[in-house]
Structure 1
């Protein structure tokens, strides 16, 4: 008897429906074809034990299973439940008339319980697109798949529930969520607030500008000056995600199995990888490509602490994704593209000792040592960072001051207003939403300078020997400063402030 059941494969952040054809005939043998990986080939042992422990069995006949399309590589243990239901249906141990209406996925334990799967959200989106009545999957992933409306999502705990549903008509529980309620729930950051930061008003101003325009920023300062503390509070002043951004972010985290019992992610991600990270882990890759840290921080913040301690070749692979806001991973048989529109926040000490030309410092470094240390970071990478700012240690009188500073909510309100201006400005551009995403043509259109501003910027370019990319960065930052001030034109004060935020271009840093 031939039966078709359906599963799904995830490639990049998209899913493709897989047709699992199970044929039970006279003879002996178990043949699984259609380019399965080792995890799928081993599934017959898990399926046999799970069925036996629930009063069923793999028939002692010739079983042929084809996973179509047969030229597409399938991977992972999430097909266990799909294969098991197909075998039971084809061998007549359960009714099979409604099996083809549902997409079925889940990893089996030996007692028949279901383990979580990866990529539940993109699979659910594809199941709805392909017209399936429902999606049967492990209960722990049900909230994630329930984000998709007009699709019955059934979260189950064991294979026995699925068998009784098809064979006896026993209903399965449906998982449904209120998408709006889920989206607007817990959008604040109670643990990290800018009012906890003592002093550093100029740095807070920089963080506000960076958040308003989506600019990359690097903080340079001695140990204990508050670089990490400031960076961790940046997400608290970023605008709330739109529903589209939340869906994009949830899909990426779903692919790597990081969304469980959550549903829709409504807070911007903050990723903080260690400096020993490999280039594949940062941008994505592997034999079966998975999203890297830059994609997991999509629509959020990627924080690289102690930037010069990262391997140079690891940092260099970020250059193209920072410009294109996506990363493409090519393999011999296929190519996948992951989105990577993130804000880069980096921090570093000015020298190996952490101090530079400070006579009161416990350890000092010579200018040559400092230049060698900063030389670990390439000029092209620094060019792609819009704001360079020095962070000075906080004096005792400010540390001991009991007065509270401005809260993240107050700063966020100004950032949201600036982003609203940018949203209206770029309404006719599909992939541009804030100033940092502007290309050269848009910079020329929206960052028009008068003669006095041009003269000011020309002098800074010649004095600091800035590149053409740095010129564009200054204009983008100046545009964000003007938006925060709710001014339509860029004036000299905006240009002057933006030039100040190119610390690493000034003489005395990189020579």
Structure 2
């Protein structure tokens, strides 16, 4: 047989489209050519494959070898096609039986000695292979992440010889067991370590319960970062589907898959010097950025006005749509980006505006320029704005400073989320504007109160609906079927920057 067909998977964002590796041996001058829009790393695979075959004891055919990676219009990158190319050559030359190839898909880079090396995106490849009803043969390095797909069959191998022995029926590769599913939040910082700041702690609980974006404003050293880092510990545990989506993003990223944390909600905190590409993703071969690495988790932006304004503006699309699309000349890549945005900022350049110490010497022009670094449309997308003031010594060391552990808050948050899931199948922050009007069912006096607040604070229609969503979450935490005046007034109190703008 001079023609062989092997199935593999490419990488396109978080998807793994099928690639058919066709190998044909023909008469003519010996040589090897690869067609089908291969990039540099794929073209270089001919030398890796030749060395791996010879050093594994196989014969490299002295014939003209043509390898087609179909579909031809799909860009191919990396060394993931080394293994299927090598097996295609062996099958086409009759050195390996071709009967069992159709039941498998293959990904893996080859070393010159025939050893298999890990590749990016093994989890998306395993997901697609399972849907196609084929077993995935991959390097041992990728076995843990690929085996997360419970309905799939993953066969890890360390050497090309081991794969060939499996295909020949001489020594079957054992299936790799899943690393297991854990819903715990162990190891997260505890909320009991935060002293005082009862209002900020309450706002953090509401944000966690409804999935609301939160902006904290206050002087340096008041606990804004400390509060933000404790949010993942009070969020509900991820479902298995959410965890797989998050793991798929890390699988294709530069940081790689971490089997110890794949079931935990991610917490990403990029530095304020981060570029737009670092935040949303990009590059010649598009890679996920911080917004995608925070998928189903928390994206924390400390010192918000210090970020480049153009960088912050790119957040507006994923905040609304939950996805980010990166366009390049060759193709587009789409990454998920459904994250909860938590941001912190100082009230002025020196950080002490309104502080009881009276240390602030900033002029009003300096304050306005500082705050204008964050655009109005971006601020409008925060559901909640809160002030985190400096604590007095009595509040810092007093017995009534509040030491409720994360576990207690976590239980209330989970109960509220369960109500939302049963009612709307999503957190309150993600319900549509039409739905939230029905869910709140405001009484006439409460609607009049909200209308007066909207007129006084000059709020947008977006802010109006976000106030309703926060009020609905507060009602859920109280296990209340309807939004009351108390719930509405508390939700209005979390629009601190709107009040400051009017004042």
| TM norm structure 1 | 0.93
Q: Deviations over 1:165-212 (max 9, x none)?
A: 22462121210227xxx2225x22334000011111111000000001
2:348 aligned counterpart, secondary structure: coil
Contact 1:352 1:365 in 2 (8 A): yes
Name the counterpart of 1:142: 143
Name the counterpart of 2:490: 497
Matched, 1:349 2:367: no
Question: How many aligned residue pairs are there?
Answer: 500
Name the counterpart of 1:273: 270
Name the counterpart of 1:445: 438
User: How far is 1:10 from its partner?
Assistant: 2.2
Name the counterpart of 2:85: 83
Q: Deviations over 1:424-469 (max 9, x none)?
A: 2114xxxxx0110122211221122112212222222222221221
Name the counterpart of 2:37: 35
Contact 2:108 2:116 in 1 (8 A): yes
Partners of 1:336 and 1:446 lie apart in 2 by 36
Name the counterpart of 1:430: none
More deviation, 464-473/415-424: 464-473
Cα 1:330/1:488, change in 2 over 3 Å: same
Partners of 2:453 and 2:419 lie apart in 1 by 28
Partners of 1:88 and 1:224 lie apart in 2 by 65
Cα 1:176/1:245, change in 2 over 3 Å: same
Q: Among 351, 370, 374, which residue is 1:373 paired with?
A: 370
2:16 aligned counterpart, secondary structure: strand
Write out aligned runs for 1:446-461 (5 A).
Answer: 446-461=439-454
Q: Among 422, 440, 447, which residue is 2:420 paired with?
A: 422
Write out aligned runs for 1:379-418 (5 A).
Answer: 379-401=376-398, 405-418=403-416
Cα 1:404/1:54, change in 2 over 3 Å: farther
Write out aligned runs for 1:460-479 (5 A).
Answer: 460-479=453-472
Contact 2:196 2:402 in 1 (8 A): no
1:236 aligned counterpart, secondary structure: coil
Name the counterpart of 2:15: 14
Name the counterpart of 1:125: 127
User: How far is 1:332 from its partner?
Assistant: 4.9
Partners of 2:440 and 2:163 lie apart in 1 by 60
Contact 1:147 1:264 in 2 (8 A): no
Partners of 2:392 and 2:141 lie apart in 1 by 50
Partners of 1:324 and 1:97 lie apart in 2 by 46
Name the counterpart of 1:506: 499
Partners of 2:151 and 2:195 lie apart in 1 by 50
Cα 1:476/1:43, change in 2 over 3 Å: same
User: How far is 1:330 from its partner?
Assistant: 3.4
1:234 aligned counterpart, secondary structure: coil
1:237 aligned counterpart, secondary structure: coil
More deviation, 139-148/397-406: 397-406
Contact 1:153 1:174 in 2 (8 A): yes
Ranges in structure 1 where 5+ consecutive residues have no aligned partner? 428-432
Name the counterpart of 1:158: 159
User: How far is 1:324 from its partner?
Assistant: 1.6
Contact 2:355 2:389 in 1 (8 A): no
2:237 aligned counterpart, secondary structure: coil
User: How far is 1:20 from its partner?
Assistant: 0.5
More deviation, 330-339/282-291: 330-339
Instruction: Supply the RMSD in Å over aligned alpha carbons.
Output: 2.1
Contact 2:157 2:163 in 1 (8 A): yes
Matched, 1:340 2:342: no
Q: Deviations over 1:365-424 (max 9, x none)?
A: 222211110100000000000000111122223433578700101001001111111112
Contact 2:386 2:496 in 1 (8 A): yes
Partners of 1:281 and 1:85 lie apart in 2 by 38
Write out aligned runs for 1:40-55 (5 A).
Answer: 40-55=42-57
Partners of 2:444 and 2:429 lie apart in 1 by 24
Contact 1:246 1:264 in 2 (8 A): no
1:82 aligned counterpart, secondary structure: helix
1:21 aligned counterpart, secondary structure: strand
Partners of 2:56 and 2:219 lie apart in 1 by 63
Partners of 2:271 and 2:36 lie apart in 1 by 39
